[in-house]
Homo-oligomer: A and B are copies of this chain.
Amino acid sequence: MNSFKTKYRVSWVDTDALGVMHFSNYFRVCEKAEEEFTNSLGVSFSSSQDISFPRVKATCDYKYPLRFNDIATVEIKIKELGKKHITYHIEIFNETQQKEAARCELTIASINRDFSPIPIPQEYVKLLEKYSV
Question: Which chain B residues border A46 with CB–CB below 8 Å?
Answer: 17, 67-69
> Are A52's CB and B11's CB within 8 A?
no
Contacting B at CB under 8 A, from A5-44, are: 9, 11-13, 15-20, 22-25, 27-28, 31-32, 35-36, 39, 44
In angstroms, how far is the closest chain B Cβ from the Cβ of A130? 23
Q: Flag whether A82 is at the interface (Cβ < 8 A).
A: no
Residue of B48, B58, B65 touching A23 (CB-CB under 8 A): B58
Interface string of A69-96 (1 = CB under 8 A from B): 1000000000000000000000000000
> Beyond A39-B69, A68-B17, is A23–B55 a contact (Cβ under 8 Å)?
yes
Q: Flag whether A118 is at the interface (Cβ < 8 A).
A: no
Q: Flag whether A128 is at the interface (Cβ < 8 A).
A: no
Question: Which chain B residues border A58 with CB–CB below 8 Å?
Answer: 23-24, 58-60, 62
Q: Flag whether A121 is at the interface (Cβ < 8 A).
A: no
Question: Which chain B residues border A133 with CB–CB below 8 Å?
Answer: none
Residue of B31, B47, B48 touching A24 (CB-CB under 8 A): B31
CA distance A18 to B129 in the complex (A): 26
- Taking Cβ atoms with an 8 Å cutoff, the residues of A that contact B are 9, 11-13, 15-20, 22-25, 27-28, 31-32, 35-36, 39, 44, 46-48, 52, 54-62, 65, 67-69, 115
